[in-house]
Amino acid sequence: MSTRIDARNVDVYYGDFHAVEGVSLVMEPRTVTAFIGPSGCGKTTFLRTINRMHEVIPGAYATGEILINDQNIYATGVDPVDVRTMVGMVFQRPNPFPTMSIKDNVLAGYKLNGKKLSASQADDIVEKALRGANLWTEVKDRLGLPGSGLSGGQQQRLCIARAIAVEPDVLLMDEPCSALDPISTLAIEDLIHELKETFTIVIVTHNMQQATRVSDKTGFFNIQGVGLPGHLVEFDTTEKIFSNPRDEATERYVSGQFG
């Protein structure tokens, strides 16, 4: 499976507030794209439009097109639930369902979609997803225990397992390591390297080293001032963004002079 994401002139609003303006970019299959930029410039907002997750916020809407394998996910008749099956998401704070077992957490996507699985199908899915998330050996003997009993880094890998269990084509990650220690962070970064063989990955990060370690392409978002919409300043190979960006604001941001 190779999935291309083509965002065309995307604007995002929270009611009257214009949060993100005019974003166009293409994310290629089997690549990792990083979004960087100062707080409040719209990285999370734009990321959520790639699986229509912003629509759960009352009053939030987007205009423009996002084509996933040439299909506009905003076309009439497209079910956002189908979009979210195809485009998985991992959030900033590990958020396993606390009272659910590790196993049921991995299967949560199937349960939400109302899909019936046989016991052996369920076992296969759980093992494959946990292996994919590099968590299997650590939890295989305690699959029935609550997900909340895992360490933070393990919980985040559990959330990644939950996201990949439904076999999406795209994985969105919003600062997936911001609550993790350096060892867990490196474990997630290694995992991202492996997952990009299968998925198109988009990650938001405030960690510049992380962007250079994990991503192929980088988009720098910025905002001109309070109350103004955020926008994509520059999108290029990660190497170019960090060594020789076109825009002066990008240069200042990646060299740590603001943000």
228 sits near ligand ATP (criterion: CB under 6 A): no
Between 42 and 88, name the residue whose CB sits nearer to ligand ATP.
Answer: 42
44 sits near Mg ion (criterion: CB under 5 A): yes
Between 53 and 150, name the residue whose CB sits nearer to ligand ATP.
Answer: 53
* Helix orientation angle between 152-165 and 182-195, rounded to the nearest 10 degrees: 20
Q: Tell which phi-psi region holds residue 15, choosing left (phi > 0), alpha (psi between -120 and 50) or beta.
A: left
41 sits near ligand ATP (criterion: CB under 6 A): yes
Q: How far is the CB of 44 from Mg ion (least distance, A)?
A: 3
Q: How far is the CB of 80 from ligand ATP (least distance, A)?
A: 17
Q: Tell which phi-psi region holds residue 175, choosing left (phi > 0), alpha (psi between -120 and 50) or beta.
A: left
Between 50 and 166, name the residue whose CB sits nearer to ligand ATP.
Answer: 50
CB 98, CB 148: distance < 8 Å: yes
The one among 1, 2, 9, 17 contacting ligand ATP by CB under 6 A: 17
41 binds, among ligand ATP, Mg ion, none (CB under 5 to 8 A by kind): ligand ATP
CB 84, CB 51: distance < 8 Å: yes
Between 103 and 231, name the residue whose CB sits nearer to Mg ion.
Answer: 231
147 sits near ligand ATP (criterion: CB under 6 A): no
Q: How far apart are CA 130 and CA 163, in angstroms?
A: 11
Between 27 and 139, name the residue whose CB sits nearer to ligand ATP.
Answer: 27
Applying CB under 6 A, the span of 39-47, 83-91, 133-141, 185-193 interacting with ligand ATP comes to 39-47
Binding site for ligand ATP (CB under 6 A): 14, 17, 19, 37, 39-45, 57, 230
Binding site for Mg ion (CB under 5 A): 44
